A and B are shown apart, each in its own frame.
Chain A
């Protein structure tokens, strides 16, 4: 679960190539070398994660490089989830009429 690009030893050429291709494909650039290295780590972690999802999936789905491969799971949740706050989804079951809704 804590695999980083460094853990892979001298970074395999394939990983660097794959990351370079990802950057070109999805038009990604990073402001500093440190940020580039961090995103490469996350990218490597996500490749492992995709493989795990692939093994766990009971359907026909394929997982791998996507436009979000340089984001951590937390960043992805914050950027692309929808919830206003954790929990608290109201329980609603009635039909709401077309009248002007009451202000709560």
Chain B
């Protein structure tokens, strides 16, 4: 596993920061970002896929009232692909019985999807080798988050209660001082590195670190290891054209 990895440094690999508005569709936006990243780093195809299609055509039929990333992948498998964002744009609403999956050309598809082990080291290894993956976390600390690395205890951010899906795009370490960044005593003052994950959110670019945020890596902060899921666009033994830039 490399020390650092940031898929945002591959031009075009990570699509624009989406804004879900008042539609509870983080699950579809995370899945869309995953498929887009995999298509760009595997096939050099820079596509923006239709989140609206994932909402309108989902089996559960209530896309703006929440869902799961694997629902979105199931929809892409069922429809043998997904249309482009430009053909089938996001409306921030759910239109029952308005599935237009057959109307538009497919711009991306997937072979299958997998659940990764709940182990941060193995998640990092997979991320660095194969590309961004989706995770589902407890979003409690995100409402008032501005920047920096969130490190929470299980008592303040329950790792069993996860309610928000996002795209994991990289990891790294940040130099800080002391035992904890904010509890520096004169005796414990020494350089220390804080390992972190880089995550892409779907609340617009005005939120967080230009739409991204960072969580501590190695402590299962906010339940990041609970549901690591990714689509696959190649056979398991085929690696992408790019490796993750440090």
Q: Which A residues are closer than 8 A to B by beta carbons?
A: 26, 46, 49-50, 53-69, 71, 73, 76-77, 79-85, 89, 92-93, 95-98, 100-101, 103
Shortest Cβ gap from A6 to chain B (Å): 22
Secondary structure class of chain A's binding surface, majority of residues? loop
Complex CA distance for A83 and B68, rounded to whole angstroms: 8
Shortest Cβ gap from A98 to chain B (Å): 5
Shortest Cβ gap from B167 to chain A (Å): 13
Complex CA distance for A97 and B110, rounded to whole angstroms: 10
Contact A84 B145 (CB under 8 A): no
Kindly list chain B residues whose C-beta atoms are within 8 Å of the C-beta of A89: 68, 162, 227
8 tightest CB-CB pairs across the interface, nearest first?
Answer: A59-B151, A61-B148, A59-B149, A84-B66, A58-B151, A81-B163, A60-B148, A60-B181
Kindly list chain A residues whose C-beta atoms are within 8 Å of the C-beta of B67: 82, 84
- A selection of 6 A-B contacts at a CB cut-off of 8 Å is A61-B146, A61-B214, A82-B164, A95-B113, A96-B70, A96-B112
Kindly list chain A residues whose C-beta atoms are within 8 Å of the C-beta of B203: 67-68, 80
Which of B3-11, B22-30, B37-45 faces chain A? Answer: B22-30
Given contacts A80-B139, A98-B77, A101-B78, are A56 and B156 in contact (CB under 8 A)? yes
B245 contacts chain A at the CB level, 8 A cutoff: no
Kindly list chain B residues whose C-beta atoms are within 8 Å of the C-beta of A46: 143-144
Contact A57 B150 (CB under 8 A): yes
Known: A56-B152, A81-B164, A100-B78. 9 other contacts (CB 8 A): A59-B149, A60-B181, A61-B214, A66-B208, A68-B203, A76-B143, A80-B164, A82-B27, A92-B115
B111 contacts chain A at the CB level, 8 A cutoff: yes
Contact with A along B130-153 (1 / 0, CB 8 A): 000000100111011111111111
Given contacts A61-B141, A64-B144, A69-B144, are A82 and B112 in contact (CB under 8 A)? no
Shortest Cβ gap from A45 to chain B (Å): 11
Contact B149 A80 (CB under 8 A): no
Kindly list chain A residues whose C-beta atoms are within 8 Å of the C-beta of B65: 84
Kindly list chain B residues whose C-beta atoms are within 8 Å of the C-beta of A56: 152-153, 156
Q: Which B residues are closer than 8 A to A by beta carbons?
A: 20, 22, 24-27, 59-60, 62, 65-68, 70, 73-74, 77-78, 110-115, 136, 139-141, 143-153, 156, 162-165, 174, 176, 180-182, 194, 196, 203-204, 206-208, 214, 216, 227
Kindly list chain A residues whose C-beta atoms are within 8 Å of the C-beta of B112: 95-98
Kindly list chain B residues whose C-beta atoms are within 8 Å of the C-beta of A63: 141, 144-146
Q: Which residue of A lies closest to B221 (CB)?
A: A59
Contact B182 A57 (CB under 8 A): yes
Contact A80 B26 (CB under 8 A): yes
Complex CA distance for A40 and B78, rounded to whole angstroms: 47
Residue with the greatest number of chain B CB neighbours at <10 A, chosen from A57, A59, A69: A59
Contact A82 B149 (CB under 8 A): no
Given contacts A83-B66, A84-B66, A98-B111, are A57 and B143 in contact (CB under 8 A)? no
